[in-house]
A and B are shown apart, each in its own frame.
Chain A
Amino acid sequence: MAKRIDVNDVNIYYGKFHAVSDVTLSVPPKHVTAFIGPSGCGKSTVLRTLNRMHEVIPGARVEGKVLLDGENIYAPSVDPVQVRRTIGMVFQSPNPFPTMSIKDNVLAGLKLGGEKNRQRLDEIAEHALRGANLWNEVKDRLNKPGGGLSGGQQQRLCIARAIAVQPDVLLMDEPCSALDPISTLAIEDLISDLKQDYTIVIVTHNMQQAARVSDQTGFFNVPGVGESGRLVEINDTEKIFSNPDEQATEDYISGRFG
């Protein structure tokens, strides 16, 4: 459980467009790492390369190494399906499977992975829903469709779905951007809880959120439209928000641009 990620000299492309250049960073285990930066700076793109979701888009490719506890997930012999089983992901807008009940949504990864033991599945479903702080709200309607929940509940359902497969790392791509402040608070509390067991990387547009939930923060920036984004600085969150090394970071944090 909870592995570390080292990104070495990664360059990311969409077809001919060089989207992100020369990213090198480390994500320590059982910590929350936040990526912040203006729109189009490539922070979500970098996040999606960490579990090989980037290459799902036609024409997209990645150069460089991403090491999970020292093992390169882009090595030719590695199966991307296994990588994604190890490194889970939560998306920007809640996306429960509309044809499945709440319980089947949580167990989707396991059931589609071939797990059949009913009792074990029930235990995992409860454990994952408790882990996502959703159990008390849905325990009486586990067999109702997941689409009937509120937006915040749906997003917690998606988090439960992601942790049910017991990944080593959890990636979150702006998980609160579609939610109201109260649901956002619920998810932020959840992130602090999940930190006990998981390595977490979160992309956020909200700097206060990064300051609240993360241990280290990476600031990405893009010089202009059509140019490639780069990692400006990655440091302890406290340092980034009080005394960053780079002038650009300070300008962004203090609201001078972006």
Chain B
Amino acid sequence: MTTTETFVDRPDGAPTFQHLSAGRRARDTLATVLVTAAFLVALVPLVWLLYTVISRGYEAVLSSRWFTHSLSGVMPDQFAGGIYHALYGSIVQGVLCAVIAVPLGVFTAIYLAEYGQGWLARTVTFMVDILSGVPSIVAALFVFALWISVFGLPKSAFAVSLALVLLMLPIVIRSTEEMLRLVPDQLREASYALGVPKWKTIVKIVLPTAFSGMVTGMMLAMARVLGETAPVLVLVGYSRSINYNVVEGNMASLPLTVMNELLNPEPAGVARMWGAALTLVLLVMLFNLMAAVISRLSAVKTE
């Protein structure tokens, strides 16, 4: 006798949802372990570096005159003086460089993102790519050849700033261009539709919208050039005392102080070297922090 199976009684074949197979679970665990391990391995040099710099440099940095005095008149074996002259030099060279590179870079980026079409824009983009690959020593030699050999001007902090401009410019152009391209075209069209000319749309709508990202890019570029060593080695002499003149005379900077104290075998020199290195790390961190704060404050809000 055959039973008549109804539709409901019949099994539906294999169930649609199956238990996670052991193989998949194992692969998932393996991938998790690999990714976490890679992260930890990448963390090792960073932590190690910070530990080394801090543990060897903190004594010098915490000494009472570190941020207020120069090394003027301090004997190589003497635990005395401070880093003021070099900190001043680094900041002045960095700021001078930014004063030149930021407007130049922002205008170039505006051209590329808002106006540039055809061969000129392609050429500029190509040149910027090349410039971003130029090693800092080559940039320094170029400025040496131009500023000192051809124009016959003295070695100075300003020459260093010029070399830093060459290094900062491509970073500023690239990051600003990216930020401008992130601004939706809808906003530009909305502005045009109100009868606002293109230049005013860029100044009043596009730039404010991209501002927070642009500032982050500039601060990071600044942090990057502050640690450059080749330009200061080639283009300016080291001075143990303060020099406020940017167009003439030797001027210290943090990387240059590190280099100089490296040649000093006394324990005091070693302490100063690590102290200067730690100060440089702190300065770069300060710039990154400022970038974060400014971009947080100027970020587009919805509430």
Contacts and interface: CB of A to CB of B under 8 A. Distances in A.
Do A and B associate with each other?
A: yes
A145 B300 CA distance: 9
B186 A162 contact: no
B196 interface: yes
A113 B196 contact: yes
B66 to A, nearest CB: 42
Interface in B168-210: 184, 186-197, 200-201, 204-205, 208-209
B121 to A, nearest CB: 12
Size band of the interface chain B makes with A: 20 to 34
Given A99-B209, A113-B196, A91 B190 contact: yes
8 contacts: A56-B192, A81-B192, A85-B195, A91-B193, A108-B196, A145-B300, A145-B302, A162-B193
Nearest to B186: A95
A91 B187 CA distance: 10
Contact of B195 (A98, A147, A165): A165
Interface in A127-161: 144-145, 147-148, 158, 161
Interface of B: 117, 184, 186-197, 200-201, 204-205, 208-209, 211, 300-303
A112 interface: yes
Contacts of A144: 303
A58 B117 contact: yes
A109 interface: yes
A84 B194 CA distance: 6
Given A95-B184, A95-B187, A51 B193 contact: yes
Interface string A80-97: 011011101101010101
- The secondary-structure label for the interface of chain B is helix
A112 B194 contact: yes
Contacts of A86: 195
Contacts of A158: 190
Contacts of B194: 84-85, 88, 108-109, 112, 161-162, 165
A207 interface: no
A232 interface: no
Contacts of B184: 95
A11 B192 CA distance: 22
Contacts of B301: 145, 147-148
A85 B194 CA distance: 5
A25 interface: no
Nearest to A114: B200
B116 to A, nearest CB: 11
B193 A99 contact: no
Given A58-B117, A145-B302, A53 B192 contact: yes
A7 to B, nearest CB: 19
Contacts of B303: 144-145, 148
Nearest to B185: A56
B181 to A, nearest CB: 14
B192 A91 contact: no
Contact of A109 (B117, B196, B300): B196
Given A91-B189, A99-B209, A81 B300 contact: no
A81 B196 contact: yes
A162 B195 CA distance: 10
